[in-house]
């Protein structure tokens, strides 16, 4: 499981944030058209990166366990607002490229497995998001 992630302003730009995840330090920012400096991925980019990484890793684990001839996985993601029943909703579209000598049945099964990755499951149901002020 993932540990704690710390996000804090770094003082180098209007919206720039230092993201600390374990031993990893990343930079987040907003694009220029949103008032940032585009010094790092935007928040939705991180969200999509997490979903894409989880999807690819889940497919790799499944292929290894089943001995499938999967050579490479590529996940392309895009975020947009869509209207559903008159309400604007966030939509993330994943386009998964599977490279390998796979039967149509294996490819279909891998698509099913992609939709079972932990991040996909979490995003496709309602989250409980708790928020409190630190002392």
Instruction: Enumerate domains of the chain plus CATH numbers.
Output: 5-34 (no CATH), 43-123 (3.30.300.20)
Note the pLDDT tens digit of each residue in 108-133.
999 999 999 999 999 999 788 899 99
Residues 79, 15, 130, 24, Cα dihedral to 10°: 80
How much is the pLDDT for 2?
A: 67
Provide the pLDDT confidence category of residue 1 given band limits of 50, 70 and 90: low
Task: Provide the mean pLDDT of the chain.
Answer: 95
């Amino acid at each position: 499981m993932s540990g704690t992630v710390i996000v804090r302003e770094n003082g180098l730009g209007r919206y720039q944030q230092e993201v600390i995840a374990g031993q990893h330090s990343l930079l987040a920012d907003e694009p220029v058209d949103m008032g940032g400096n585009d010094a790092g991925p935007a928040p939705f980019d991180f969200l999509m990166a997490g979903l894409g990484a989880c999807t690819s890793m889940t497919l790799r684990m499944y292929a290894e366990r089943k001995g499938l001839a999967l050579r490479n996985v590529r996940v392309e993601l895009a975020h947009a607002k869509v209207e559903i029943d008159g309400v604007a909703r966030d939509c993330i579209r994943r386009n998964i490229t599977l490279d390998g000598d796979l039967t149509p049945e294996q490819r279909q099964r891998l698509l099913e497995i992609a939709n079972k990755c932990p991040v996909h499951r979490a995003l496709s149901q309602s989250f409980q998001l708790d928020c409190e002020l630190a002392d």
